[in-house]
Structures are given as structure tokens and as C-alpha cells.
Amino acid sequence: MTSQQYPTRLPCGNRVLDLSQTHVMGILNVTPDSFSDGGHFSSRDLALRHAEAMVQAGATLIDVGGESTRPGARAVSAQEELERVAPVVEAISQALDVVISVDTSTPVVMRESARLGAGLINDVRALRREGAVDAAVATNLPVCLMHMLGEPGDMQDNPHYDDVVIAVADFLRERMQVCCAAGIAEEKIILDPGFGFAKTHEHNLGLFKHMQDLHVLGRPLLVGVSRKSMVGLALGRPVEQRLAGSLALAAMAVARGARILRVHDVAETVDVVRMIAAVDAAR
């Protein structure tokens, strides 16, 4: 296991995450067009029931997203995203004992979600949208900054890096510096290498292999590879047949020091995390 260099207590609104252990974050897309589960949980009641099932399966975070960021996804208006996300955040906050993460780059969604009970901002654009840094500061919540170049609509248009690990580390370091200068404490920052975002298959594999090099940044890592194309391309599997590959990557991510795993298949991933913890705890 990779030794950690940061305080392990992370306040998330009215809850606290203990980052001395790995947590499983359940994905809740309230969108019609996400790559794996678009349209499945677009109503408030369906979304709440799915969130409840994921918490019962062992998820300690639920990541609510109202804008698909799959390659080629269309942009949605701030109002449309807010109308999708806000009722679900409010319902989960009132019904479940779980940290609510909001997968958004939109300032108004950040502010309103925090007011309704969200505990973490998870931004694939690393707070680069206009007004996002100020909104994140105003919420006083921790933030997850992800590496991505361009926008979802064009991010896969021939991405190039001389060294993908160095490029990702440099990008995340710069975004951390911007956030800290604006008033977000370093202790409130989580980092996501951005697998599948502006990266070829070889970029994804190489970045995953050397993920532990990102610990030089001194912040906990969130890893999201569940059902993604890097699994499909490596194994020749369609989305609905990528569980085994996703679980293999989950185990390797834990071994490389990841502290949050963002997944669709919560129960199976929780078993992976618990099995690793049981072995590590043995005499």
C-alpha cells in the first residue's frame, strides 16, 4: 500500500470521511445520455431508490450528475442541470446517511447543491468554468479536481502528451495552486487523474500503471474507471460485460493508494475493498 502524506479526516458538510481507508462512491447519473446508465434514474423517486440501494451495498458517497461528460456529449444549460440535480440532492440529504457528491462544473449547481445538503464538489473541469472557483469557495466544501483537456465534445480529438503522467501531475498541481490562492484550503482538495478524458487507450493504461507517481502532489486520489472504454478495449467487451475488468482495476487502484473509487457496481467493488482490507489487517 502507498503511504499517505495528508490528514485523513475530510469534513464534507455535516459528515466526515476517514481517508485512512478506501471508500466506494456510487454513480447516480440523472441524465438521459450518460454512456452506461443514461435515462435509468431520471426521476426523483427512481434516483432515490437507486441511491438507497447503493448505500445499503456499502457506498459511503453518492455522486449525483446532471450533465453527461461522455465523449461527444451535448452541453446542457445551467437551468436544465439544476432542475435535474437539485431535487435528487435534497431527497438523498433528507433520507440517507451518506456523503453527497455533486458531479458538476456549473457554479449555480454547486451553490444550490451545497445549500440542499451536498458534501463534495466533483468537477471534471477542475473549476475552470467561469465563476466556478468563487462558487466552490462560497460553499466551503471540499472539491475534487480532475484532469481533462478541452471539453467532452472534443476531448478525444487526437490528444497528445510527451509524458502523460507528468502532464497530468503538472495540470493538477496548477489547478491546486489556483484553488489555494482563491481560498480553498489544500486539505479540502481531492485529485482525479481523469481516466478516459482526453486520453487514448495507451495513455489510460500508462497513467494507471504509474498512478502512484501522483502521490507526489500530496492529496488523496479519486479513481473512476468503472465500465470505461479502457476496460472494453483491453478485453474486447461491451459496456454490459465490463464488470470483471472494472473490479480488476479497482483492486489495482487500491494497491496504488486510491482513496475513493467511483463506480457503477457498488456491492461488487465494496467486496473487493473489504477483501483487500482483511488481508492487509492480518497478522
User: What residues are annotated to the active site?
Assistant: 228, 262
SS3 11: strand
Euclidean distance between CA atoms 201 and 229, whole angstroms: 8
CB 270 within 8 A of CB 24: yes
The grid cell for 135 is 462558487
Q: 1: burial class by Cβ within 10 Å (0-12, 13-18, 19+)?
A: exposed
CB 195 within 8 A of CB 210: no
List Cα–Cα distances, 113 to 4, 37, 46, in angstroms: 30, 22, 19
Euclidean distance between CA atoms 132 and 200, whole angstroms: 28
